[in-house]
Every structure is written in C-alpha cells, then in structure tokens.
Amino acid sequence: MTTADPTPKTDYRLRSKLERGEWLLSVELDPPHGLSAQAGLKAATALRDAGADCIDVGDSPMASVRMSAVAFAARVQQQTGLEAVLHFASRDRNLMSLQSDLMGAHMLGLRSVIALSGDPPSLGKYEGASAVWDVKAEGLIELIAMLNAGHDSAGNQIGGQAEFTIAAAANPNNPDLDAEIARLQQKADAGTHVFFTQPTFDIAAVERFAERAASVGRPVVLGVMVLAHARNARFMAQNVPGIAVSDAIIERLDAAGDGAAEVAVDLAQEFVEQVRPLSAGVYLIPTLGRLGGAIEVVRRLRA
C-alpha cells in the first residue's frame, strides 16, 4: 500500500492566465528576517485560501538581510501549491552566481522570475556591504533568456532549455514617459514576457502609462500598496523613489484615525477596481509586514 504524496502540485498560473487573457491577482510576500519561515508560510496559505493566484517573493528588499528568496519561494510553492514568482536581484551576485542560483531555482520548481537590479546597499543598515552588479536588470534578462535557450553566458549547454517566464520592472510614475517606454522596449527585446510596475495610487499616471506601454506588446501587472496608516503613506511618498502616494490619500488616512487600517483596505480595493481594465493584473504590496489588509483585499476582490 502506498501513501499519497502530501505535497500539493504547483498551479503555474502566471503565464497561463496571461496567455489566456485572464486577470491576475498576486500578493508580495517577503522572506523572514530570521531562521523560521512558519509565519510567512501561514500567510501564504491564508492568501491561497482567500483567492490569490500567486505569491511574488521579494529578494532582500530595501537592502535588508532576509532568508534566501529562492529557498523561501520554493518552500511556499511546495507547501501551498501556489506559484511563487521570484524577485531576483543582480545586486548581490556575480555573473557566475546569478546563473548558478537561477539553475538551482529551476531545479526547485520555480518558473517565474522578476529580473531586478536591486536596491542599493546604502538603503540598508549593513555598513561595508557592497553591490556586485556584474549586470543590471537588462543584462539579467538576457542571462535568463540564455538559460531558456539552453546555454549559459559562456555558451556551455545546460542539459535542456529552462522554462522561465521573465518579468521585469516598469515605472508608471516616471515623469519622462518617453525614456520609460524606451527602456521597456529594450527589456522586451532582451526577452521579457511581462512587466510588474512600481506601486502607484495615481490613476491618471496609470492611464497615460497604459496607453503608451501598449506599443511594447507585453502585459502589465500593476503594483498596488496596502498602506498601514497616514505616517506610513507619508514616508512612502517622501522617501521611497519611484512610488506615488497622493496628498488626498494621506489626508483620508489621517482623518480615519484608529480606523486607518480599514480605510487602507478600502483605498487599495477601490484603486484596483479602477485600474482593472487598464492592466493584465495587479500585485498587492503589504506595508510594514501587515498582511491582514492584503488578505482582506484579496477576499473582497474574489467575492
């Protein structure tokens, strides 16, 4: 008598839903700062049960030391059956390590990668940490495309073709849209299949961006933050490059007082409903590690 495998089969939804033209709903989940992943795995299970299509896993965002994104993403996928979309930064790895880690991620079952340069170490608290950046985002996209073609950067065969869906960053808040679209086209030409944007709450900026980005011919998944309170929103607006949070949103959170967390959920839901016709999907970004709000937004959107 055999025992059934308790590990759920991974439902690879990112590429399949985009190819079918179905709207995608992901949530960003950062690896833990410490040795235990139990809280993150519990959150991933709750997000699956609420109706998320996939989880995108940050790679030491804001230059903070966290558990390996590859290890955590693989564990999320193995335990929940949700596809884990791996944020993968070139900041911390040289040319050899980039390719080794990507091949290891593929062996572990990860199939979707967001190719990023990564936040500079100066944003973190680790004095003396240096950035590698043998390649930036565009070069990383080319490396992943090489693995998909069956060889590494030196031309060595890797025993088959990798099956990565390649995602890249986009910024709808960039005031120089000509430059932004030119960079998107460069990333698309390098092998990008889909773009994940910087978070925004500016519907006018999204409309302008969506109109221009259509010429690149790649689906766009919009980043939407689930804020915690007015102070959090104000910090994001003033200190995090590329993120847009309007004064109106800050004022609404201010006015909510102790009810700011619920208002933040309302704001995220309202904005997602506004941008839904302009995007191939959204990924929700919880702030200050408060995943409850993101779970509630997913529940409401799936209701």
SS3 at position 133: coil
- pLDDT, one tens digit per residue, over 250-261 is 999 999 999 999
13-80+165-302, CATH topology level: TIM Barrel (3.20.20)
Q: Would you list the DSSP string of 221-290?
A: EEEEEE--SHHHHHHHHHHSTT-B--HHHHHHHHHHGGGHHHHHHHHHHHHHHHHGGGSSEEEEEESTT-
* pLDDT of amino acid 203: 93
Split at pLDDT 50, 70, 90, the class of 4 is very low
Q: Where are the domains of the chain?
A: 13-80+165-302
Report percent pLDDT > 90 for the chain: 83
Mean pLDDT of 10-23: 95
Q: What is the CA radius of gyration of the chain?
A: 19
For the cut 70, the answer to whether the pLDDT of residue 281 exceeds it is yes
Confidence (pTM)? 0.93
% residues pLDDT > 70 (the chain): 98
Given a contact cutoff of 8 angstroms between Cβ atoms, the answer to whether 40 and 31 are in contact is yes
